[in-house]
């Protein structure tokens, strides 16, 4: 069983539009509604693979009730923590060329008691979990140290932790030695405080995160591929993608694939790449099922192309957490 923790879940509406013209009436060709948030997406991908998963998340108001109902319909066990504020609603606009415009709401502000209730619920539901995946931005009201507290409690209970967050929350949690961290290229650059120009730069940044406490680093490099740096070595994985329909949740699908395959080594990286490549071919935040995967198209190598220039990363430097957009 894989347990996921999503401190700032959402109700996601995705519209596919022929083009995005500011100030005009834009008529969508399709629309869909999904439960959202990075940990929620990991649970959805795990469930799509036919594995058991439990989703721990704060839920409030009518949007929260709808998120719970949508997850239940997908066969996902929900461990809700009731909060006073309503769950946020997000909007994504997907254009035919793969351009995605996202509008993410800030979400409710959690009280100290609600934050503690989340930690307690994770502890109560983590028995028998192969992994605990802690994912996404922290809502207002929770300090950057909240994930660090969660990692410490989970390790004390003997659980393995995969952490997918960024900024001060990521840096604070590293001291508690999460088993896996999963930044994207932008977040990896931010964590080390310098731009990354090549895959070799990304390898060095991942090694720095390991020196700070991460057991392994699974880095999503967008269209350039994925990188794994762990105790067994350094590996690079990629797969061809003819057309991107939506990249919403692709990184979350990758993390699910990695954990499903054991969460270590080149075999798990191959699974991560296959899941991520499949996700971008699907609409909205639809998670891939086994028939969507093309594992034979995945290439994983220990001969990492260190000099290859990254095409999917911006020059990013550390910013204050309040300046970041919620994920």
Residue 313: pLDDT over 60: no
Residue 315: pLDDT over 90: no
Give the model's confidence band at 312: pLDDT under 50 very low, under 70 low, under 90 confident, else very high.
low
252 is catalytic: yes
Residue 287 lies in a domain: yes
Give the model's confidence band at 317: pLDDT under 50 very low, under 70 low, under 90 confident, else very high.
very low
Residue 327 lies in a domain: no
Residue 325 lies in a domain: no
∠ CA 31-32-38, rounded to 5°: 130
pLDDT, tens digit (0-9, with 9 covering 90-100), for 73-129? 999 999 999 999 999 999 999 899 878 899 999 999 999 999 999 999 999 999 999
pLDDT, tens digit (0-9, with 9 covering 90-100), for 205-225? 999 999 999 999 999 999 999
Q: Provide the domain limits for residue 38.
A: 2-17+30-314
Instruction: Give how far Cα 121 sits from Cα of 40, 82, 89, Å.
Output: 16, 11, 24
**What is the reported pTM?**
0.91
pLDDT given at position 322: 32
Residue 321: pLDDT over 70: no
Number of domains the chain contains:
1
**What average pLDDT does the segment 160-175 reach?**
98
Domain at 105, CATH number: 3.40.1190.20
Instruction: Give how far Cα 324 sits from Cα of 44, 87, 273, 321, Å.
Output: 25, 19, 27, 5
Residue 146 lies in a domain: yes
Residue 102 lies in a domain: yes
Give the model's confidence band at 326: pLDDT under 50 very low, under 70 low, under 90 confident, else very high.
very low
pLDDT given at position 100: 86
Residue 323: pLDDT over 70: no
Residue 202: pLDDT over 80: yes
Residue 249 lies in a domain: yes
pLDDT, tens digit (0-9, with 9 covering 90-100), for 4-54? 999 999 999 999 999 999 999 999 999 989 999 999 999 999 999 999 999
Give the model's confidence band at 325: pLDDT under 50 very low, under 70 low, under 90 confident, else very high.
very low
Residue 326 lies in a domain: no
Phi, psi of 12 (to 5 degrees): -105, 125
Query: For residue 164, what are the contacts with CB-CB under 8 A and spacing of at least 6?
Result: 38, 39, 42, 133, 134, 135, 136, 181, 182, 183, 251, 252, 255
- pLDDT, greater one: 94 or 62: 62
| Alpha-carbon dihedral sign for residues 307, 311, 313, 314 | positive
* Distance of alpha carbon 301 from alpha carbon 43, whole angstroms: 28
pLDDT, tens digit (0-9, with 9 covering 90-100), for 276-299? 999 999 987 889 999 999 999 999
Choosing from 34, 179, 224, 252, which is the catalytic residue?
252
* Distance of alpha carbon 1 from alpha carbon 29, whole angstroms: 37
pLDDT given at position 85: 96
| Residues of the chain above pLDDT 70, percent | 95
pLDDT, tens digit (0-9, with 9 covering 90-100), for 234-267? 999 999 998 888 888 899 999 999 999 999 999 9
């Amino acid at each position: 069983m894989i347990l996921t923790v999503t401190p700032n879940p959402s109700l996601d509406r995705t519209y596919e539009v022929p083009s995005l013209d500011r100030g005009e009436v834009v008529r969508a060709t399709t629309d869909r509604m999904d439960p959202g948030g990075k940990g929620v997406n990991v649970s959805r991908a795990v469930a799509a693979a036919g594995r058991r998963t439990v989703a721990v998340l704060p839920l409030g108001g009518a949007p929260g009730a709808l998120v719970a109902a949508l997850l239940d319909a997908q066969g996902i066990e929900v461990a809700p923590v009731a909060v006073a504020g309503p769950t946020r609603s997000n909007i994504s606009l997907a254009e035919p060329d793969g351009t995605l415009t996202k509008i993410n709401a800030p979400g409710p502000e959690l009280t100290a008691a609600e934050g503690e209730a989340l930690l307690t619920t994770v502890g109560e539901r983590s028995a028998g979990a192969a992994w605990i995946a802690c994912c996404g931005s922290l809502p207002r009201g929770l300090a950057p140290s909240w994930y660090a507290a969660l990692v410490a409690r989970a390790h004390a209970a003997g659980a393995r932790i995969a952490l997918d967050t960024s900024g001060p929350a990521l840096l604070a949690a590293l001291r508690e030695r999460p088993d896996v961290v999963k930044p994207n290229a932008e977040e990896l650059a931010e964590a080390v405080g310098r731009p990354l120009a090549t895959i070799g730069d990304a390898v060095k940044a991942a090694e720095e995160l390991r020196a700070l406490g991460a057991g392994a680093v699974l880095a999503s490099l967008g269209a350039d591929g994925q990188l794994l740096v762990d105790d067994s070595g350094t590996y690079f994985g990629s797969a061809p993608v003819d057309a991107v329909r939506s990249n919403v949740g692709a990184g979350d699908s990758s993390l699910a694939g990695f954990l499903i395959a054991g969460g270590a080594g080149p075999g798990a990286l191959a699974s991560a790449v296959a899941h991520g490549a499949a996700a971008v071919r699907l609409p909205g935040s639809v998670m891939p099922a086994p028939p969507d995967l093309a594992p034979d198209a995945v290439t994983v190598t220990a001969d990492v192309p260190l000099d290859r220039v990254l095409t999917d990363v911006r020059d990013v430097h550390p910013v204050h957490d309040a300046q970041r957009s919620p994920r």
